[in-house]
Structure 1
Amino acid sequence: MELHFSKYQGTGNDFILIDDRDQSFPQKIDLIQKLCDRKFGIGADGLILIQDHPNLDYRMIYFNSDGSQSLCGNGSRCGFSFAQTLKLVSDSATFETTDGIHQIRQDGKLVHFQLFDVSQLNQINDKEWYINTGSPHHIVIVENLNDTDIVSEGRRIRNLTTYSSQNGTNVNFAQLLQSKVKIRTYERGVEDETLSCGTGATAVGLMAGELGYKSPVQIETEGGNLEVHFKKVADGYTDIWLAGPAEKVFEGSVTI
């Protein structure tokens, strides 16, 4: 079978995009792992299928590079840009993905993805938080990201028994600056550091809101800049939007 694909990236978080409106793609974990492999496949942090939806603009099915599924903020923005090239949408859309139905829109060069309201922000201690923004995120505030062993420390926290019932957690290391927050992320499902994580950036943005930062919070990742917009209310945060670029890298075909 010849598979045509497009490769997209959102602040360095990269994805294989597939037009699966005929639902012919075989959703096999070993195939997804092979396609995402950076040495033996196309190479990506995740794989995205765009399908027709009976009531909405489209359905987006997201797989991490290990074949597991989760909500992906950067992937959702890239999926929208790909759906635009398929002529499924213009400058805004309503679509279904892993955790439900979301809104998304284009505003200039940025794609804005709306996440669900967040009412639980768990402060573990003065340096650590746990926030679920559709995907689980453990956050560690550090003095200097360059002095932090992201992979080994991230892997340790990702596998804490505290999170064993939910298949672990993503881990974000955050350096607080006056006008922005710099982050680096160890991503569950990729099992390595990624250049960016959209739901992680959102979790850090909400944590920053708790620490007095105003919306939109500027988030600097290793792969580029994101914005987290929100409204702070009595029981948490609402009107949460993740904004950033979504760019096509290349397209091609592969035999599967």
Structure 2
Amino acid sequence: MRFVKLHGSGNDFVVFDNRQGEVYKFLGDLNIKLEDFVVKVCALHTGVGADGLILIENPDDPENDFKWQFFNSDGSVAGMCGNGSRCAVRFAYENGIADKKVKFETLVGVIEAEVLDEGKRVKVLLTEPHSFKNMHIRVKNKDIKGYYINTGVPHFVVIVDDLEEFDVVTYGREIRFHETFSPSGTNATFVKVNSEGIVNIRTYERGVENETLACGTGAAASAIVAYTQGLVRRKPIEVRTKGGDILRIDFDDDLKRVFLEGSVYKVFDGFLYKEALYY
């Protein structure tokens, strides 16, 4: 079964065209659950390896170009993924599913996007942020000040003094599973603004359960926090990910419209063999 692997700033995804139900037929023949399929495909070493998996499907509303199903690498469903959405848009554009102006259906609503540079860059209008508030939580006997905001998925943003040496995995995991955010948990994004006004971030992602090289919704959350707290004063805001890429975040002052723009890389086309799912 054919797939394409793409990544946005190092955040990598396996994408399948499921408009004809090919994935469901494939799983039916093997008697494998969709959740188990996702885990096996996303597994390092024994699978393709990815932070998430995307199914491109026919839209419920013919006014839209497609519908997606998005899964984290642990098989859990996510309503939104900023970098994943950019990869899905490039896939749809290159396969004639959408033109340069794109609308697609997600669990959090219809997402609008624009294809730039023939798909090598994509600009996405994220869902309207909500639940923005300052918070203090106790983590490992320390009082952690942060900013909670939902940019399609929840993020707890923490400003740190030394981002490079910060223990993202340890503190990220503690925050992700903190009782304050139960039962669904939160992503944890750590931020340092440099002298040039670039927002540097590292993110521990819920569902991947580890630090990833990039997180689009985390970049948006961090840019909003940095701007509202006076750490940066100009928009659009440049956010540097752990993978080294720069994401561009722009938004209205009332936070009604938030845009995420960045490069999308096509890694390879491939064919998934059934025997990969038996390991």
**TM-score, normalised to structure 1's length?**
0.94
**Whole-angstrom distance in 1 between the partners of 2:121 and 2:5:** 18
Alignment length, in residue pairs?
250
**Whole-angstrom distance in 2 between the partners of 1:98 and 1:75:** 14
**Whole-angstrom distance in 2 between the partners of 1:238 and 1:33:** 35
The code of the aligned residue for 2:103 comes to: T
Contact 1:21 1:50 in 2 (8 A): yes
Partner of 2:115: 106
1:97 aligns with 2:95: no
Partner of 1:21: 19
* Structure whose alpha-carbon radius of gyration is higher: 2
1:248 aligns with 2:266: yes
After superposition, the CA RMSD in angstroms is 1.4
**Whole-angstrom distance in 1 between the partners of 2:257 and 2:149:** 16
Q: Is the alpha carbon distance of 1:119 and 1:34 closer, same or farther for their aligned partners in structure 2, counting shifts above 3 Å?
A: closer
What is the CA-CA distance between 1:106 and the residue it aligns to?
Answer: 1.8
Contact 1:7 1:17 in 2 (8 A): yes
Unaligned runs of 5+ in 1: none
Partner of 1:226: 247
1:67 aligns with 2:90: no
1:48 aligns with 2:54: yes
Contact 2:14 2:54 in 1 (8 A): yes
Partner of 2:129: 118
The code of the aligned residue for 2:65 comes to: D
Partner of 2:44: 38
Contact 1:127 1:142 in 2 (8 A): no
What is the CA-CA distance between 1:190 and the residue it aligns to?
Answer: 0.3
User: Which sits farther off after the overlay, 74-83 or 94-103?
Assistant: 94-103
Contact 1:16 1:47 in 2 (8 A): yes
Unaligned runs of 5+ in 2: 25-32, 137-143, 275-279
**Whole-angstrom distance in 1 between the partners of 2:4 and 2:39:** 17
What is the CA-CA distance between 1:36 and the residue it aligns to?
Answer: 0.2
Contact 1:208 1:217 in 2 (8 A): no
**1:205 partner SS:** helix
Contact 1:215 1:231 in 2 (8 A): no
What is the CA-CA distance between 1:24 and the residue it aligns to?
Answer: 2.6
Contact 1:106 1:112 in 2 (8 A): yes
**2:257 partner SS:** strand
Partner of 1:4: 2
Contact 2:159 2:191 in 1 (8 A): yes
**TM-score, normalised to structure 2's length?**
0.86
**2:222 partner SS:** helix
Partner of 2:96: 87
Q: Is the alpha carbon distance of 1:232 and 1:97 closer, same or farther for their aligned partners in structure 2, counting shifts above 3 Å?
A: same
CA deviations on 1:188-218 (whole Å, 9 max, x unpaired) are 0000000000011111111112023322111
The share of aligned pairs that are identical, in percent, is: 40
